[in-house]
């Protein structure tokens, strides 16, 4: 089959040109080699004047299937947008990693699979080594950077109209699922505003043996609690330029989300640090900067995945004006995080009297005690827990006064 545009060679040439165009802001490297030894390109886009530790990280891959040229074209177009006046402002607060051609051998052959006849999309089995050199290269990038957000961008091989996102779902991660769903709707709205119709998103539960199960977007949700998507882009229905325009509308919307403050997080960034529980009582990532939170988010998410942290919940009714969020630990955590954050939401009329964790009082302190975040219609208490969780029940108790009593018949 003849190669489709952009070809692998065109992708490599443009990556090199972008790196020359804005040195420092855009760097180009080979993140690995394909089965047949072709370099796999990786662009790193960020403002070098700002510390990486203070930035969110987003990772975009395209060209996972070699016969889907729109995936390659869309991710390259995102890189170009990030170097415009509109896009470059996000590079002060984010590191954007872009691999526009994850499957060089498939791109050269114009085949869906790689040169081993393996579907790279399904080469990331949970808990095991990725099964192809291309998958191992992508996973190594994710292991190093711990992305807050990951999107794998596809065209519809063979041609169809079908812009949409696959949104992953994992039991116990309801907060992240609902945030992912809301962002997916925003992405659709951005493309719809330009006149490109969108399909409903596809919800993909993490269940062994089903389609999509060995994909990187599910693995990074499970292991790192990252905000992840598989992005489908219409192919061979519009002219290529229209497919790119629709895709970049959605992808740039996703990048903009990384510069917002989610209502459940006290800092700006992708809405992935609420790891377990619900907004009224939850466990969040611990750390003073973005890098520390990513490392501790990964360790906490993996403790949940491996069954160490079994459940996080707020106990009902606040008897005696005592609010409790409980972390149930089943066994000793092999690689514990440096700390966790437990957050409780209360009626803003309440007045906090004391906080105790496992019976020990906590003091007001941003790094090792608690902070109170209060507004006219908002009251949240966040406790930074830096000593190890015990096997069994771990309770954060917030004692408060309030000018109301619970209703009783």
Written as one string, the DSSP assignment of 182-225 is HHHHHHHHHHHTTT---PPPEEEE--TTSTTTT-HHHHHHHHH-
Nearest partner of 144 among 274, 262, 24, 42, judged by Cα: 42
- How many CB atoms are located within 10 Å of the residue 54 CB? 11
Residues 180 and 174: their CA atoms lie apart, in Å, by: 10
Distance CA 42, CA 60 (A): 10
pTM: 0.96
SS3 226: coil
Q: Say if residue 38 is exposed, middle or buried (CB neighbours under 10 Å; 0-12, 13-18, 19+).
A: buried
Task: Please enumerate in sequence order all residues whose Cβ is within 8 A of that of 294, keeping only pairs 6 or more positions apart, or say none.
Answer: 57, 146, 148, 224, 285, 287
**pLDDT value at 408 more than 70:** no
pLDDT band at 66 (very low <50, low <70, confident <90, very high): very high
Distances 56 to 104, 233, 255, 333 between C-alpha atoms, Å: 28, 25, 10, 27
User: Exposure of 317 by Cβ count < 10 A (0-12 exposed, 13-18 middle, 19+ buried)?
Assistant: exposed
Question: How far, in Å, CA of 76 to CA of 244, rounded?
Answer: 9
pLDDT score at 239: 94
**How large is the average pLDDT for residues 88-107?**
98
Tokens linked to 341: 């954050």
The pLDDT value given to residue 106: 97
d(CA 368, CA 184) in angstroms, rounded, equals 35
Percent of the chain at pLDDT > 70 equals: 98
- Nearest C-alpha neighbor of 39 from the set 96, 101, 97, 98: 101
Q: Give me the pLDDT at residue 307, please.
A: 87
Average pLDDT, the chain: 94
Closest CA to 66 of 34, 37, 93, 42: 34
Starting at the earlier edge strand, list the strands of the sheet with 94-99: 26-33, 39-45, 94-99, 56-62, 149-155, 227-233, 164-169, 202-205
Which residues partner with 285 through β-bridges?
A: 340
Burial, 299: exposed, middle or buried (Cβ in 10 Å; 0-12, 13-18, 19+)?
buried
pLDDT score of 208: 67
- CB-count exposure of residue 209 (10 Å: 0-12, 13-18, 19+): exposed
Domains of the chain: 8-257 (3.40.630.10), 276-401 (2.60.40)
Q: Is the pLDDT of residue 3 over 50?
A: no
Q: For 17-57, how does the pLDDT look when each residue is reduced to its tens digit (9 = 90+)?
A: 999 999 999 999 999 999 999 999 999 999 999 999 999 99
| 3-class DSSP state of 2 | coil
pLDDT tens digit sequence for 357-387: 999 999 998 778 899 999 889 999 999 999 8
| C-beta separation of 180 from 228 below 8 A | yes
In order of 34, 48, 65, 100, 254, the CA distances from 83 in angstroms are: 28, 13, 26, 16, 16
Tell me whether residue 162 is exposed, middle or buried, using C-beta atoms within 10 angstroms of its C-beta: 0 to 12, 13 to 18, 19 or more.
Answer: middle
Is residue 231 classed as helix, strand or coil in its secondary structure?
Answer: strand
User: 299: closest CA among 349, 336, 247?
Assistant: 336
Q: How far apart are the C-alpha atoms of 10 and 245, rounded to whole Å?
A: 19
Instruction: List the structure tokens of 10.
Output: 């065109």
153-197: pLDDT as tens digits: 999 988 889 999 999 999 889 999 999 999 999 999 999 999 999
Measured N-to-C along each axis, helices 240-257 and 69-82 cross at an angle, to the nearest 10 degrees, of 50
Rounded to an integer, what distance in angstroms lies between the CA atom of residue 340 and that of residue 385? 5
Mean of the pLDDT values across residues 145-151?
Answer: 98
**Residue 199, phi then psi, degrees to nearest 5:** -75, 165
For 312-363, write each residue's pLDDT tens digit: 999 999 999 999 999 999 999 999 999 999 999 999 999 999 999 999 999 9
Q: Tell me the CA end-to-end span of the chain in Å, nearest whole number.
A: 76
Which tens digits make up the pLDDT trace of 229-286? Answer: 999 999 999 999 999 999 999 999 999 999 999 888 999 999 999 999 999 999 999 9
Beta strands in 19-92 (DSSP E): 26-33, 39-45, 56-62
């Amino acid at each position: 089959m003849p190669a489709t545009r952009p070809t692998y060679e065109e992708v490599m040439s443009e990556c090199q040109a972008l790196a020359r165009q804005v040195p420092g802001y855009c760097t180009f490297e080979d993140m690995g080699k394909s089965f047949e030894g072709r370099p796999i390109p990786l662009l790193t886009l960020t403002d070098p004047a700002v510390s990486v530790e203070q930035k969110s990280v987003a990772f975009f891959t395209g060209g996972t299937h070699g016969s889907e040229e729109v995936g390659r074209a869309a991710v390259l177009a995102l890189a170009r947008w990030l170097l415009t006046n509109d896009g470059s402002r996000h590079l002060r607060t984010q590191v954007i990693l872009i691999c526009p051609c994850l499957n060089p051998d498939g791109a050269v052959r114009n085949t869906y699979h790689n040169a081993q006849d393996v579907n790279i999309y399904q080469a990331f089995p949970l808990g095991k080594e990725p099964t192809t050199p291309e998958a191992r290269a992508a996973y190594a990038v994710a292991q190093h950077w711990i992305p807050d957000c990951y999107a794998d961008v596809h065209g519809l091989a063979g041609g169809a109209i079908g812009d949409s996102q696959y949104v992953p779902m994992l039991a116990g991660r309801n907060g992240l699922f609902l945030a992912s769903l809301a962002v997916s709707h925003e992405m659709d709205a951005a493309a719809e505003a330009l006149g490109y119709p969108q399909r409903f998103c596809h919800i993909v539960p993490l269940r062994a043996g089903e389609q999509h199960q060995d994909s990187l977007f599910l693995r990074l949700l499970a292991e790192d609690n990252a905000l992840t998507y598989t992005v489908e882009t219409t192919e061979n229905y519009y002219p290529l330029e229209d497919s790119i325009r629709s895709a970049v509308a959605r992808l740039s919307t996703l990048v903009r989300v990384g510069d917002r403050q989610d209502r459940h997080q006290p800092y700006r960034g992708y809405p992935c640090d609420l790891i377990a529980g619900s907004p009224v009582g939850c466990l969040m990532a611990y750390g003073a900067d973005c890098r520390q939170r990513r490392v501790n988010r990964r360790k906490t998410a993996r403790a949940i995945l491996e069954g160490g942290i079994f459940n996080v919940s707020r106990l009902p009714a606040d008897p005696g004006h005592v609010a409790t969020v409980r972390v149930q630990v089943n066994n000793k955590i092999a690689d514990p995080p440096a700390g966790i954050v437990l957050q409780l939401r209360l009626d803003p009329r309440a007045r906090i009297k004391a906080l105790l964790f496992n019976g020990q009082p906590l003091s007001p302190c941003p790094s090792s005690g608690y902070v109170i975040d209060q507004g006219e219609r908002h009251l949240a208490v966040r406790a930074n827990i830096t000593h190890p969780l015990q096997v069994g029940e771990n309770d954060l108790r917030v004692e408060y006064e309030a000018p109301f009593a619970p209703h009783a018949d």
